[in-house]
Structure 1
């Protein structure tokens, strides 16, 4: 059986289109299907659409959160609920082409691989500024982290049950799925496809959210920022020591110890800024640790199709 995990946030228009597109491919896939929709606290009619869909098709299941916990939580909840031998994660807006599923199933059944991932061959239709920062993020994370991530990789991938079980063992509160998929290992092959626009609705991802998401990825999979903070601190101390020696020598030779107040103020401000920068980097890591130690659940389910049927 193939489980299709689909996170949803304000996707009332996309859900019927997604369901119809996948159903057209059901004979070609040759698999029993299980839909696992996860409503991430939507404030439109997404939940109503899922209720109606589950009412007419027994292969459709859904979970509805008590509030919006984010896509990462929705992915984790969907993977926990999926029961298939093969599991795929897809966006409901059809930016992930369902027509690739038959090919992905064939690859994973005929080749010695555990996962078939997808990546965008281009970023056509995306704002240039966002594309630029996205490429720089992948370049940076692959330089400072031992967990390598493929540029343009999507969450859309087909995984074996063994790989899904490995991902579910990573129960951390601060989640970055692209990194987790790479971290667990397993044999993975990628296939490319041209970038697609949404079929309906508006994306909830703006530049600021993507920027914060990239910071989470860096903090979760690299300690390089801490090393940079340590290096900056050491360099500042070394520079201050050299400056002190220079001032003492100048005072002894030229008897001039009162001049230089403007430069002194600049140095103090510069060093103060470095200290705040380093404290901010350390604080980011401490904040992540603080959230992990609270042991709060990644998500809270308010309703499922099973509770409604019961």
Structure 2
């Protein structure tokens, strides 16, 4: 009705400029999400982190003045999320049978959608690079690297797609997945754009406009079709990354020295766990070490059935 007062809080906030939002309102937002909105601590963290990034950007561009009201807003949420998760099954890597089922399945079966080929391409890449979902979906022409004298092509994770500073890295591509990148790269170069995406099907979406946003939903549908709804909460696309870590460890146990934990950490973009590694060791290792690790992981760490399927 015209002239009637609208008491919806979200409409009130949308009508106000950033600089006019009261600190007490912002300060209570995290608690409101936890209590009134009933979200889990993990979900609240995923809501607040993009806000912090957006405010940081606005401050850098002198749109608003600091300090950032979201600094420290997620403190304690990880511990709270861990407590909330006690008793729930932990997410794990895919089993060998599950991997074979996923790799053998046809993502297009019974569906009219544009996701079949990208699902087929990203599963082997995730398995053999250990890269995160959004890191792979965000690959562009300029993120495919060939170092002088190197045997293998590689992919680069740059700052704009890195989850943390440690995530900025380069990962060699095993020959088994090189045809995927070469095919995608040729199509991207043909567009004439220097930073053309290798996976144009993966349109940006979600609060942070990530290219992995819509792909994540489509892969979940595919995974449920193949492994059943009982796999919910146990395995996700991130489970390929867990498999990569598992295969690295198996190869190290089998005698591949380049697959030791410190190398696996570098390839997966994890922060070093000791002061010795952080302060007294080289920040990066020779590319040849990374190449040997990737080759050794497949040779000594992966089940032969998977290698045969990927070949």
Larger Rg: 1
Which protein, 1 or 2, shows the higher relative CO under an 8 Å CA cutoff with sep ≥ 6? 1
Q: TM-score, normalised by structure 1?
A: 0.25
Q: Is the strand fraction higher in 1 or 2?
A: 1
